[in-house]
Chain A
Amino acid sequence: MNVRDIISILEAEVISEGDLDIEVKTACGSDMMSDVLAFVKDQSVLLTGLMNPQVVRTAEMMDMHCIIFVRGKEVDPMVIQLAKQKEITILQTHYRMFTACGLLYVNGLRG
């Protein structure tokens, strides 16, 4: 699937737009950035409820293309600014973490 598919599956709002046509195959869901950094497996999507610029930094270090903020979290302006600089797509969905991960999984995205 690509990022456009994710937007439609999660009824997500695009907060910062990177490459929406890029192919994504795997994702990772966590609020602990240290745990995200511990398990590199070429994941290209990060789902999180944590809101600070280090989420974007973590995605950057891992070469991720897309960050999805779950539970309808209001996105911090500093997060948006950094994501624009790094050309990382930021999405916001009203779904909670478990549901958002489940919806993407049944549609073919893997861990």
Chain B
Amino acid sequence: MSSLSLHYVVPGDDFTRAGEASSDVKNKLKKLGYNSDAIRRVAIAMYEAEINMVIHAGGGEAFVEVSPQNVEIQMVDHGPGIADIEKAMQAGYSTAPDKVRSLGFGAGMGLPNIAKYSDTLKIETEVGKGTTLYMTVLANR
């Protein structure tokens, strides 16, 4: 299997388009014949991160590196940063406005879901500067 480097810009102003990058990665992994469980974990973790970017940070960028062993995803935004990571990692804790909840998100499951479906997760964040998520999903867990 060949390696693959992908880059996406996640637009911050259009909620209806959130998820396009994750969808494209999912299709490319399918074409590569990647393990289907790994594909689903990549798709969900990245989709939640994309939604977070649109809800909280006005969009951002996604960098994806695919190798036969794993998929490494870097999600970079220049939004408000996460003030309390410990709280943000708790299932059910949310700072999303009601408008977001009416769209079916903001249940406080975004970061917990990302942690659950990825094999490693590192979060670098600074209030007022932005957030970068580093996620890895192993091809075979």
Contact = CB atoms under 8 A, between A and B. Distances in A.
B18 A57 contact: yes
Interface stretch (A3-11, A13-21, A28-36): A28-36
A61 interface: yes
A103 interface: no
Given A60-B26, A61-B47, A54 B112 contact: no
Given A31-B104, A38-B116, A61-B44, A54 B109 contact: no
Contacts of B43: 60-61
Contacts of B48: 34, 37
Interface in B8-38: 15-16, 18-19, 22-23, 26, 36
Contact of B19 (A38, A48, A57): A57
Interface residues of B, number: 26
The secondary-structure label for the interface of chain B is: helix
B1 interface: no
B117 to A, nearest CB: 8
A37 B107 CA distance: 11
A63 B47 CA distance: 13
A48 B103 CA distance: 12
A54 B44 contact: no
A104 interface: no
B118 to A, nearest CB: 13
A34 B109 CA distance: 6
Interface in A34-71: 34-35, 37-38, 40, 48, 50, 52-55, 57-58, 60-63
The secondary-structure label for the interface of chain A is: helix
A22 interface: no
B50 to A, nearest CB: 9
Nearest to B48: A37
Interface of A: 31-35, 37-38, 40, 48, 50, 52-55, 57-58, 60-63, 78
Given A52-B103, A57-B22, A61-B22, 7 more contacts: A34-B107, A54-B16, A54-B18, A58-B104, A60-B23, A61-B43, A63-B36
Would you list the 3 A-B pairs with minimal beta carbon distance, nearest first? A34-B109, A57-B19, A33-B104
